[in-house]
Structure 1
Amino acid sequence: MNRLMLRFLQSALTVLCLALLFGCSANRVQVTQDQQQPIDSDSGRYTNLYPGEKDYPFTCTENCYQPRQEIHCRPEQGCQYQGTLGAAEFEQGFRVQWLGHAFFLITTPSGETLATDPVLQEFDWPINWLHAWFNGNYRLRYPTPQGGFDAIEGVLYSHVHYDHFSRASVSDLPDNVRYFTPLGMSRHFPDAGLSVNELGWFSQTTLGQSVITAVPAHHFSSRVLVPYLYEDENAVSWSGWVVESQGQTLFYAGDTGYSAHFKDIGQRYGGMDICLLPIASYHSEAHPKWYRYVHMTPEDALMAAKDLSCKTVIPWGYGNASWGMGDKSSHAPLTRFLNVLDNVQHGADIVILDELSQ
């Protein structure tokens, strides 16, 4: 092989390598931040709007887990809610289907289809492997809804925790999906030519005729392979989301504890037609105050519904496709939610869905 040919091959190989690294596979990232989010002065990382100790308006202490006739439990099959299953259509024009945990498929009144926190294998790697090793397989994979995921046009991610964001699950979604994320989250995506929109709190963009707005949540973020060797806690923000379409609004809270941020959102947007609120992952024998600080009890969710002036509430986080985080059973949060309904003034219609059956 002569010297000229060798130089040509070396140049071609260099161009190919550069194309693979920096070429068409690079993601398209757009950052929108209309106002500065709060930053912790000591760490320089993101923080909550209302940090510090919390006083909760109501805490269930008696008859919280009284058996409910709507929930049937069998040792070999787990528990199942005996009512509306899977999906609901609302007069406001929204259609909401729940696949389990934090994964919803939402069709707006103007026809756009959104997914929230789609993690198809319960956890992203390597937490899925560690969880299976120590606890057994809780769920191998979410069932696929009829028609698959081809209709999804946008994905709303609330935060980067392994049960709410999965790099592996991105490959199961359509190629032309637009991803809407909190600030700093785009660096965790696979480099595959994706459209990623990072939004700061109270910043907005559009998807078709729907307006997508990031709003505060009361939570935290971290995503490390080996703790203490690389610490990224709160380097990425966390969000809830408001979807507005044809004058109707839907609120997805993401993971969040109860705080005054709900009143801020309610005052700014003047009431929500549909609220998707978490009611689980609040229970821990070892760290009860911490878990409730960043997750809501069922009664906290009902107080949030009041602050948001929700017309309809759909609770989520319970069920056989959710990992529970130390709660008493798969449907214990829903049992507690139903038992405290009469004890908390919330003013909303309650719609209970059950996860899509395997």
Structure 2
Amino acid sequence: MIRLCLLLMISVLLLGCASNQIERVQQETSVIKYSKKYPSGDRFDNLYPGRKDYPLTCQENCYPSSQYVLCQSEAEQCQFNKEQTPPNLEAGFKIRWLGHASFYIESPDGSSILIDPVSGQFDWPVDWAFRLSAGFFRNEAKWPTMEEISNVDAVMYSHIHYDHFNKSDIAAVGNNAEFLVPLGFAEHFPNNGYKINEMSWYSAKRIGKLNIKFVPAHHFSSRIWVPYLYEDNDKTLWGGWVVEHQGRKIFFAGDTGYSKHFADIQQRYGDMDICLMPIASYYHKENSDWYRYVHTTPEDSLIAAQELNCKVMIPWGYGNASWKMGDHSSHSALLRLLHMYKEMNSSIPLHILNEGEEVVF
């Protein structure tokens, strides 16, 4: 009798674990670049590796205070407080910044997407390793409602790093949405009936009336505690996204350093309407050259936005719910952005959000 009960329980569990549906999305226009550093031939590489010559670098007085950035202490726990009139693009996109790299976007046709959703700290046990090394947990992000989460049509991830991909959030979203991810990503999902589209660079997938394209970024990937002691480096691809609805385009850069790929994306897909651009994680007192190699400074992002011909730029990466990895403080990157925006006399309109705020273009 006991054996029969055990068999029934196992059968129920097995029936409850539906297999994932995995599609590798690749078209004639797709691009994949494999690294020559690894003999296995299964690791990815950036399109433009090697030494970088940056067009512009702030040299001194890069973080002056701003009357519009109100903080509890020096550049910490701040709110941007300035009345802004967003450009009227007649695009119909509603964009909400959840914190760090996470966005909730509603399209004009009523569909919704999540980009790089990470609601809390890193997956366990890496969250505790970060707590021990950094001395704090990240503040909670401004998360969508349960109704919004349950009705999401698509979830996109830019890369596998813990601050952009949290497995607990997959379970929260459930398996009704389609997941769009870089190549090599599907094996990191639990087997629970998820619809997963593994994308190569410059491949496209239609979700309802949205045409979603995966585009290059200049970064890297790894998913373990100590990346250089294990062998998963660059086994999954990384990139950004272009979300198009009736000719209007949102560009999400993902984690990236500055390189020629920005100009390539504009040449291939045309001017971008709304650009969601990273401005943080470029500073490290001992290794800033490497940090900047894979992350844009605020001035790098402003130059990239010019190359993309963005009609408006929304920055991300700073904030009260950031991890302050590669930053002086929670809002140092925003202060540098506001300073360099004036210094460069940039023509790209900026729209600054605090976490949890949304804007309609």
- Same fold? TM cut 0.5: yes
**C-alpha separation in 2, matches of 1:110 and 1:83:** 30
Closer/same/farther in 2, CA of residues 80 and 140 from structure 1, 3 Å limit:
closer
* 1:79 Cα offset (Å): 1.6
Task: Tell me what 1:100 maps to.
Answer: 99
Q: TM-score, normalised by structure 2?
A: 0.89
User: Is 1:88–1:97's contact at 8 Å kept on the other side of the alignment?
Assistant: no
* 1:16 Cα offset (Å): 7.1
Task: Tell me what 1:30 maps to.
Answer: 23
Closer/same/farther in 2, CA of residues 80 and 240 from structure 1, 3 Å limit:
same
* 1:345 Cα offset (Å): 5.4
- Which segment drifts farther, 52-61 or 227-236? 227-236
User: Is 1:310–1:347's contact at 8 Å kept on the other side of the alignment?
Assistant: no
User: Is 2:142–2:356's contact at 8 Å kept on the other side of the alignment?
Assistant: yes
* 1:20 Cα offset (Å): 4.8
- Mapping for residues 213-292 of structure 1, pairs under 5 Å: 213-225=213-225, 227=227, 230-292=230-292
Task: Tell me what 1:47 maps to.
Answer: 45
Q: Alignment RMSD, CA only?
A: 2.5
Q: Which runs of 5+ in 2 are unaligned?
A: none
User: Is 1:100–1:319's contact at 8 Å kept on the other side of the alignment?
Assistant: yes
Task: Tell me what 1:91 maps to.
Answer: 90
User: Is 1:183–1:200's contact at 8 Å kept on the other side of the alignment?
Assistant: yes
* 1:343 Cα offset (Å): 2.8
User: Is 1:84–1:354's contact at 8 Å kept on the other side of the alignment?
Assistant: no
- Which segment drifts farther, 75-84 or 192-201? 75-84
**C-alpha separation in 2, matches of 1:202 and 1:299:** 26
User: Is 1:311–1:347's contact at 8 Å kept on the other side of the alignment?
Assistant: no
**C-alpha separation in 1, matches of 2:150 and 2:81:** 29
Counterpart amino acid of 1:32? Answer: V
Task: Tell me what 2:165 maps to.
Answer: 165
Q: Which whole-Å deviations, capped at 9, do the CAs of 1:187-215 have from their partners, x for residues lacking one?
A: 11122111111110000011110001000
Counterpart amino acid of 1:144? Answer: W
User: Is 2:99–2:142's contact at 8 Å kept on the other side of the alignment?
Assistant: no
- Mapping for residues 322-337 of structure 1, pairs under 5 Å: 322-337=322-337
**C-alpha separation in 1, matches of 2:50 and 2:15:** 43
* 1:311 Cα offset (Å): 0.7
Closer/same/farther in 2, CA of residues 101 and 291 from structure 1, 3 Å limit:
same
Tell me the number of residue pairs that the alignment of Structure 1 and Structure 2 aligns. Answer: 349
Counterpart amino acid of 1:308? Answer: L
1:62 aligns with 2:60: yes
What SS does the corresponding residue of 1:168 show, helix, strand or coil? helix
What SS does the corresponding residue of 1:342 show, helix, strand or coil? helix
Task: Tell me what 1:126 maps to.
Answer: 125
Q: Which whole-Å deviations, capped at 9, do the CAs of 1:324-354 have from their partners, x for residues lacking one?
A: 2131111110000000112335432111111
- Mapping for residues 145-156 of structure 1, pairs under 5 Å: 145-146=144-145, 148-156=148-156
Counterpart amino acid of 2:306? Answer: K
Counterpart amino acid of 1:319? Answer: G
**C-alpha separation in 2, matches of 1:19 and 1:83:** 56
Task: Tell me what 1:115 maps to.
Answer: 114
Q: TM-score, normalised by structure 1?
A: 0.90
- Which segment drifts farther, 274-283 or 164-173? 164-173
Counterpart amino acid of 1:58? Answer: L
Counterpart amino acid of 2:331? Answer: H
What SS does the corresponding residue of 1:161 show, helix, strand or coil? coil
* 1:125 Cα offset (Å): 2.2
Closer/same/farther in 2, CA of residues 350 and 202 from structure 1, 3 Å limit:
same
Aligned identity (percent) is 47
User: Is 1:242–1:252's contact at 8 Å kept on the other side of the alignment?
Assistant: yes
**C-alpha separation in 1, matches of 2:57 and 2:319:** 22
Task: Tell me what 2:183 maps to.
Answer: 183
Closer/same/farther in 2, CA of residues 75 and 63 from structure 1, 3 Å limit:
closer
